[in-house]
Amino acid sequence: MTKFGDVLTTDEVPSSGTTILNGTGPPADALGAVGNYYLDTVAKILYGPKSAPGADSIPQSAVTYTEQGTGGNQYDGMRIRPLVPGRISALRFMRNPTSGLTSRKVSLFRNDTQALLAQETTTGESGSGWRTVPLTTPVTVAAALDLRISYQEAAGGNRYYKSSLVVSGVPALVTIQGPCYADTAPFPGTDQSGLSYPIDIVFQAGTIWPIALKSAP
């Protein structure tokens, strides 16, 4: 049984018939096919086998938001915490056509440092319902990392919300900590309680390119 830190030997490399790619640095998500391995020839790290990039949304997107209200805050959000390592490939929000916005920012932040991890701007919005906004670069997150997500709304316009907090089921990969908002900036730093805003993440547990073996120094 090999483990992280073992020296790679020929009998531990995947058998013939398996495609082993190589390059310098970690493999890109788009590289190769499911089942492939990849050797970083500089760091001497073998990655693989590559897994499928399928992902699921957290329970927010399964909820119907029928209540509307007006408010002055421009960015509504939720505090979330992945319970396992994984990657966030998209943000989702429910569009309310009466808000009047056809373009808006959706953002992902670390809670502790307020660092912006990802931000996308939608265009040409119309109609109503859930919208999936793919991230240009998926974000890898550690277990128990507190995050905040937000979407822009028109100040004073109508928006969707739910008067009770949506919580994850059990077992859960991501827990929902509660709502938050901001008046003028995308980081939703003001906490609320007892309600939910319709925004969530598309989350994949684990990693597409896990480390199989790493050479000893």
Name the residue with higher pLDDT: 202 or 168: 202
Position 122 scores a pLDDT of 97
Q: Give Dmax over CA atoms of the chain in angstroms.
A: 66
**Between residues 29 and 25, the one the model is more confident about:** 25
Residues 180 and 193 sit within 8 Å (Cβ to Cβ) = no
- Let me know if residue 111 belongs to a domain: yes
Is residue 214 included in any domain, yes or no? Answer: no
- In angstroms, the CA 82 to CA 104 distance is 25
Does residue 108 lie within any of the structural domains? yes
Which CATH number characterizes residue 79's domain? Answer: 2.60.120.820
Does residue 100 sit within a domain? yes
pTM confidence score? 0.78
In-domain check, residue 32: no
Instruction: Read off the pLDDT of residues 54-88 as tens digits, 9 standing for 90 and up.
Output: 778 888 888 888 888 777 778 999 999 998 888 89
* C-alpha torsion angle, residues 140, 42, 28, 207 (rounded to 10): -40
Q: What is the domain range of residue 85?
A: 56-205
Name the token pair of 2.
């090999």
- The number of domains in the chain is 1
Residue 15 forms part of a structural domain: no
91 belongs to a structural domain = yes
In a domain, 215, yes or no: no
